[in-house]
Amino acid sequence: MAMSSGTAEGEVMVEMNTTPLIDVMLVLLVLLIVTLPIQTHAVKLDMPAPNSTPPTVIPESVELGVDFDGTVTWNGAAIDRATMDSYFADAAKKDPQPEIHVNPNRLAKYDAVARVLADAQRLGATHIGFSGIDQYN
């Protein structure tokens, strides 16, 4: 506790003891933190019901690569954008749609990969996933 003492002239120094005020404020702060509701950062998704039977036809798999210079490869063969669009359109018409495994190079620009994915979405190819993600660890 703080104590008051006299000065050399004999006057009494009057100071307010702020220690209890600080203690009360800390207790109120702790109570406020404890009583605040916990924020949940959950994303609500409507997931489809699982199939009870496995599919009878196994879809084909396509390896789609995006190189560091923006070159797109379809199953290892380099293709231009018009050819890629026709492949996506053909894949969208098939039943079941082929699984397109996108494998971008580690040095590929985001813009090139996003353009490929946007073209696939625009043309109706829906079974797209990323492969080779272990190279980014």
Sign of CA dihedral 16, 19, 22, 23: negative
Distance, in Å, from the CA atom of 72 to the CA atom of 80, rounded to the nearest integer, reads: 7
Q: How confident is the model at residue 44 (pLDDT cuts 50, 70, 90)?
A: confident
Determine the average pLDDT of the residues in 78-101: 93
pLDDT at 57: 81
CB 64 within 8 A of CB 76: no
Domains of the chain: 61-136 (3.30.420)
Tokens in use for 16? 């307010």
Q: How confident is the model at residue 114 (pLDDT cuts 50, 70, 90)?
A: very high
